[in-house]
A and B are shown apart, each in its own frame.
Chain A
Amino acid sequence: MRFVDEYRDAEKAHHLAASIAALCEPGRQYKFMEVCGGHTHTIYKHGIEDYLPEAVSLVHGPGCPVCVMPMGRVDDAIHIASQPNVIMTSFGDMMRVPGGNGSFFDAKAAGADIRMVYSPLDALKIAERNPERRVVFMGIGFETTAPSTAMTVLRAKAAGITNFSVFCNHVTILPAIKAILDSPDLRLDGFLGPGHVSTVIGCRPYEFITRDYRKPLVVAGFEPLDILQSVHMLLAQLAEGRSEVENQYGRVVPWDGNTRALQVINETMEPRPYFEWRGLGFISHSALRMKDAYADFDAERIFDIPGGRVADPKACQCGEVLKGVLKPWECKVFGTACTPETPIGTCMVSSEGACAAYYNFGRFTRERVKEATR
């Protein structure tokens, strides 16, 4: 398949692995964070870590929108779904995310009308077909998904659809990266930048990372060779003493992003003063809410939400995993009490979550290594 096969060529991967090893300074350890959950998924699925020398380790970042959803917001969404005459619509990966009082699946089993959709546009169609019901779309995702929600709100307004609203939980990646850079417990040498978020926001917004924190960042694609080449580019920058934003994913990411997509986000949404990230706590200006002009489409204003904060389960160490301080298997409940079927923490829910990705693809490798070194 075009745009896929050529980025999975094993021979090229071996070549890249050899030049990556050659770029490593003897005795030096390198720690790079892949910000996006999509990268985490690729890394485990294709065993990228096995291609890297021991000196290079990849740390999994906070870029899985499902994983960072705080429990209180899930409870708020279930509260909305339980109101009379409401149809709640949600992406499938949100359905199993546990709140303080269960997940969407649990609420659905208890009688709430919660439907899975593939896009906000599908939710809008449900609203059109059910004019007597109040249809709410659970808006989640980074800058990649926000344009889709924004466009749908604009379409609803243009079409005069009044029974559709959005429970807006869209988050933005830059404040989270900054929070990680300011966190004292993590030392990083560089970043693999999120490819698809960058399709929308472009490469320029990352310049504060390379300028103020002196950490190189390479916007990376999602195929195995994309990741390897991006690691190579990061190591080359470090070897040459550079700290720049580079774009490895040029076939998709324009340097200035998608200005039309940014415009529709800015037209309908604005930054919240602060938002809670699961495991990372409250981060200022890190999420979006509907603008006043679109209050009629804002589920948060239409429905009286409790807005409570729910502490993460004590046993769960998603926070440390999201910050890259712990590897998934170092969490106390990983693979025992917490599995993709019965997740305690959000990192185990989505296939992009570091724990689920590791559980599904990586754990056998580690078990083999353990046995071999026994």
Chain B
Amino acid sequence: MTHCEGDHCVTCSDEAVPVKVLRLHGADLADVDAGGGRVEQVSVALVDAAVGDTVLVHAKEAIGVVT
């Protein structure tokens, strides 16, 4: 069972783990590099993110772009 432990809390995303946008699916969804080659789909509806940008993702919702 995975739960909030170690470096990362799902609820709080306590550390800004940099997540890079790999490709966009429309304006709403994107594939990101979640680390270790793992690709995850997240929502980018609330930010202006382009391929190559680093975004701050919280519960699979990007809430900010890291500049």
Contact = CB atoms under 8 A, between A and B. Distances in A.
A93 B10 contact: yes
Contacts, number: 142
B12 A352 contact: yes
Contact of B13 (A94, A140, A196): A196
A359 B11 CA distance: 20
Interface residues of A, number: 54
Given A66-B4, A151-B46, A261 B11 contact: no
Nearest to B45: A151
Contact of B15 (A42, A66, A145, A148): A42
A73 to B, nearest CB: 14
Given A252-B16, A352-B4, A258 B11 contact: no
Interface string A189-223: 00000011001100000000000000000000111
Interface of B: 1-7, 9-16, 18, 43, 45-47, 54, 56, 58-61, 63-64, 66-67
A261 B46 contact: yes
Given A96-B3, A119-B59, A261-B46, A91 B11 contact: yes
Interface in A127-181: 140-142, 144-145, 147-149, 151
Contact of A64 (B2, B6, B12): B12
In the complex, which of the residues A2, A42, A95, A119 has the most CB atoms of chain B within 10 Å of its own CB atom?
A119
A38 interface: yes
Contacts of B5: 351
